[in-house]
Structure 1
Amino acid sequence: MGDKQRLLMVDDDTELCELIGDYLEHEGYLMEYAHNANEACEQLTRADRYDLMILDVMMPGKSGLELLQQIRPKVQLPVIMLTGRGEDIDRILGLEMGADDYLSKPCNPRELLARIRAVLRRIEPQQQETLFPDNGITVCGVSLDPGTREVKVNNHTIELTGTEFNVLAYLIANAGSVLEKGQLTELVLHRKLAAYDRAIDVHVSRVRQKLAEHLSGKELIKTVRGVGYQFVKGDV
């Protein structure tokens, strides 16, 4: 693949694929396409060949949400979802199922490019801010390795999306301290926290759920109402 990053765009609108694809190829990306969920599944059997997937929610046959639910958590490829205007439920469901970001259609190719760059930056450990852990860390039975991007809870490996991993990494590296919601949004999502922006809450919720499966009722990520989140330190 060389130095160029390869993107998979899944959308039944072939004209949009051509428009977006031409723009992104001009910006240095390699583009491949699938026009329905079945085609995408075939191509995702070689998921390691892609760096990111752009996924439309509304497609004939199986929807983008159904495809995302099918491939997570087995396929950890970063995903940006394209949703119709006003489809707030689809956006929330997409984030809950493991999408890394979303953009409303019709979308501006320049804004999509910015979102792609932001998502790809946040899954690269060398690009992380100083609050991100440099080495492996274990707190309250949760072990996180920034090098392999592996997480274990009481020796059980759990699967996290790239964004979920980074949420947990920032929280656990700063265990005992409260990370403000706006700060965590900037660190993980690379944007300012906007009014009614629930994206970081959804990612934290997903991390919390996945940890809870192996914690026997312990709650390690506390919500500090009106402020942010805290990974507890010590006995809980």
Structure 2
Amino acid sequence: MRPQKILIVDDEPGIIKMLETILRKEGYTVIGSAATGQEALDQIARHHYDLIVLDVMLPDTDGFQLCRSIREHTAVPILFLTARSGDLDKLTGLGIGGDDYITKPFNPLEVAARIHVQFRRQEQYQTAAAASPEVYRFGSLVIDKKAAQLWVNGAEITCPAKEFELLVFMADNPNQIFTAGQLYERVWGYDSNGDEKTVAIHIMRLRKKIEQDARQPALIVTLRGIGYKFVPPRAGQGEPG
């Protein structure tokens, strides 16, 4: 099994050194770093990384714009680091394809723990995928679990890792109701601690990709005050597109 590769993007050498030290102690041996957005894109073009730690404030760009560019190349998990604590910044980061969010100042052990959870969840997902149907076909919606591909109306749709994992989890458990907190715990792998907004943003992004009308969703349904459920279309029903 090849070692997991992590890229740290931050313009503060002290933060990079601190995270590298902690991550190496946790057993991660392949760690790349970049101090600018362009350096990060160059690294991503040359290497396959399994997870990216991304600072929002960079000298040549902001992390949000860089995240959009990264998503053109890879769907691996992106963990934002930022000194901004407002909900708007958090929702912006998650809305453009980020998977998790940590506010500075932070405990480096917390970053290591969240990275570890991301990788553990991926391993659990792969194990579960091997024990269930590899491909789901819901009308024009096709979910290929083994290839980690999403198809709608015959076109492949880019889907970041955590969005895809959330969709697969719901497809694996059709017609079951889950609260936002339960989805966060089952898909992200740790207690919600008020992070229901993270789930809501990922649900919103998925709906834009798979629903015929994201404003009136028929596949991922909200039960107001309760939670969400995935409702597979019955034969003869309208298909997503």
TM-score, with structure 2 as normaliser: 0.87
Query: Where does residue 141 of structure 1 map in the other structure?
Result: 140
Measure how far apart 1:144 and its partner are.
1.0
Letter in 2 for 1:163: K
* Distance 1:147-1:185 versus aligned 2 partners, 3 A rule: same
Question: Alpha-carbon deviation of 1:185?
Answer: 1.2
Q: Deviations over 1:144-185 (max 9, x none)?
A: 121111111122211111100011111122222322322211
**Contact 1:222-1:230 within 8 A present in 2 as well:** yes
- When residues 196 and 9 of structure 1 are mapped into structure 2, their CA distance, relative to the original with a 3 A threshold, is closer
Q: CA deviation at 1:196?
A: 6.0
Pair 1:172-2:181 in alignment:
no
- Contact 1:129/1:187 (<8 A) preserved: no
Deviations 1:68-123 (A, max 9, x none): 01222432121100011423322111111111111111211111011001112233
Q: Is the 8 A contact 1:10 1:36 kept in 2?
A: yes
Helix, strand or coil for the counterpart of 1:40?
Answer: helix
- What's 1:126 paired with? 126
Alignment of 1:21 with 2:51, yes or no, is: no
Alignment of 1:36 with 2:36, yes or no, is yes
Amino acid at match of 1:33: S
- Mapped contact 1:56–1:64 kept (Cα < 8 A): yes
Deviation at 1:195, TM superposition (A): 3.2
Task: Please give the root-mean-square deviation of Cα atoms over the aligned residues, in Å.
Answer: 2.2
Corresponding residue for residue 186 of structure 1: 185
Q: Give the aligned residue type for 1:126.
A: Q
Which residue does 1:116 correspond to in 2?
115
Matches within 5 A, 1:26-105: 26-29=25-28, 30-48=30-48, 50-105=49-104
Question: For 1:127 and 1:99, how far apart are their aligned partners in 2?
Answer: 24
For the residues of structure 2 that align with 1:113 and 1:53, how far apart are their CA atoms? 12
Question: In the TM superposition, what is the alpha-carbon distance from 1:40 to its structure 2 partner?
Answer: 0.5
Judge conservation of contact 2:129–2:146 (CA < 8 Å) in 1.
Answer: no
Q: Deviations over 1:4-49 (max 9, x none)?
A: 211110000011111111111121112111001011111111342x
Identity of aligned residues (%): 33
Task: Tell me the TM-score normalised to structure 1 length.
Answer: 0.89
| Secondary structure of 1:45's aligned partner | helix
Mark the runs of 5 or more structure 1 residues left unpaired by the alignment.
none
Unaligned runs of 5+ in 2: none
Aligned partners of 1:7 and 1:51 also within 8 Å: yes
Contact 2:129/2:145 (8 A) holds in 1? no
